[in-house]
Amino acid sequence: MKKHILSAVIIATLVVSCTKSTTKTEKVENPDGSVVTTTTTVAENGVNVDSSKVNKAKEDVQAKVDAAGNKIDDAAQKAKDKIDATADKTKEDLQKAGQDIKAEANKVGKDAKEAAAKGASKVEDAAKKLKEDLKK
C-alpha cells in the first residue's frame, strides 16, 4: 500500500513538473484608434521532456521503493521470529515449572502419608500398651 502511494506521488510530481505554459499578450489597434488587448495562455504538456529519462527515473524510484518495502518486510519477519522464539521458550519454562511443582507436591503428599502412618502406628502401640496396663 505504501509503495503505491509513494509511486503515485512521484508520478504526479513528474507530470506537474513537466507541464509548460506560456502567456502571450497581444495589443491590436483598430482602424478607429481604439486598442484591444488579448491575453492568450498556452499550456503544453510534455514539451521538451525526454521520456526515456522520465521512465528511467520512474524505474529507479520503483526499485528504491521495492527495496525499502523489502527491508520493512525483513525487519517485521525478524521481529516475528524473535517473538515466536521467546514465546516457545516461555512455554517450555512454564511447562518445566509445572512438572517440578507437581513432582514436589507428590513428594509432600507421600511424606504426609508416611508421617500419618507412623503416627497411627504409634497411637496403636500406645493403645495396646494402655490396654495391657489396664488388665494388670
Nearest to 12 by CA among 52, 61, 67, 50: 61
* Average pLDDT for 121-129: 86
pLDDT at 118 over 80: yes
- Asked if residue 126 is part of any domain, the answer here is yes
Which residue range is the domain that position 99 belongs to? 52-135
CA distance 58 to 3: 13
CA dihedral 84, 85, 88, 92 (to 10 degrees): -170
- Asked if residue 80 is part of any domain, the answer here is yes
- Asked if residue 72 is part of any domain, the answer here is yes
Mean pLDDT of the chain: 82
pLDDT range class, residue 92, cuts 50, 70, 90? very high
- Asked if residue 37 is part of any domain, the answer here is no
CA 28, 34, 35: angle at the middle one, nearest 5? 35
Name the grid cell of 17.
Answer: 513538473
- Asked if residue 95 is part of any domain, the answer here is yes
- Asked if residue 11 is part of any domain, the answer here is no
Total domains present in the chain: 1
The model's pTM is 0.41
| Residue 14 exposed, middle or buried by CB count within 10 Å (0-12, 13-18, 19+) | middle
Selection from 19-28, 44-53, 93-102 with the highest mean pLDDT: 93-102
pLDDT range class, residue 13, cuts 50, 70, 90? confident
- Asked if residue 26 is part of any domain, the answer here is no
- Asked if residue 75 is part of any domain, the answer here is yes
